[in-house]
């Protein structure tokens, strides 16, 4: 069974850091682009960051550019999202996903595999 499981969410004060991890099991994702998305109630899932299969290409939403860093360790089948200088508006459930292509993409429809999500709350 193919699974992605996020961890590392929690409560943090504004300005603080948090690091999310996403571990894959059931198959290797080393040939897939990976992405992070987030969602708040009554809003559509929003693209946050993506990384190519090799890690050589990354792409960020304007709202997180310069504050968040996506990385991956293919040997561990794991992708990370380092979040710095967090703001209350970053509060959301964060999802990791594996895409059907090797390169980066921000389109949710290109991601057939999703984790259950981890909640991040940033207090002001």
Cα–Cα distance, 71 to 38 (Å, whole number): 17
Q: Give the position of tokens 């999703």.
A: 114
pLDDT in tens, the chain (124 residues): 779 999 999 999 999 999 999 999 888 888 999 999 999 999 999 999 999 999 999 999 999 999 999 999 999 999 999 999 999 999 999 999 999 999 999 999 999 999 999 999 999 9
Strands (E), the chain: 3-7, 10-13, 18-25, 34-39, 46-51, 58-60, 68-73, 78-83, 92-98, 113-114, 118-123
């Amino acid at each position: 069974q193919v699974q992605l499981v996020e961890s590392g969410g929690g409560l943090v004060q504004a300005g603080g850091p948090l690091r999310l991890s996403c571990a894959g099991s059931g198959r290797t994702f080393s040939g897939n682009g990976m992405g992070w998305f987030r969602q708040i109630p009554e809003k559509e899932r929003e693209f946050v960051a993506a990384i190519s299969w090799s890690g050589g290409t990354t792409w960020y939403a304007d709202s997180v550019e310069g504050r968040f860093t996506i990385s991956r360790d293919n040997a561990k089948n794991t992708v990370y999202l380092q979040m710095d200088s967090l703001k209350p508006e970053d509060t959301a459930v964060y999802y990791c996903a594996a895409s059907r292509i090797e390169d980066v993409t921000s389109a949710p429809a290109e991601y057939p595999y999703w984790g259950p999500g981890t909640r991040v709350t940033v207090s002001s």
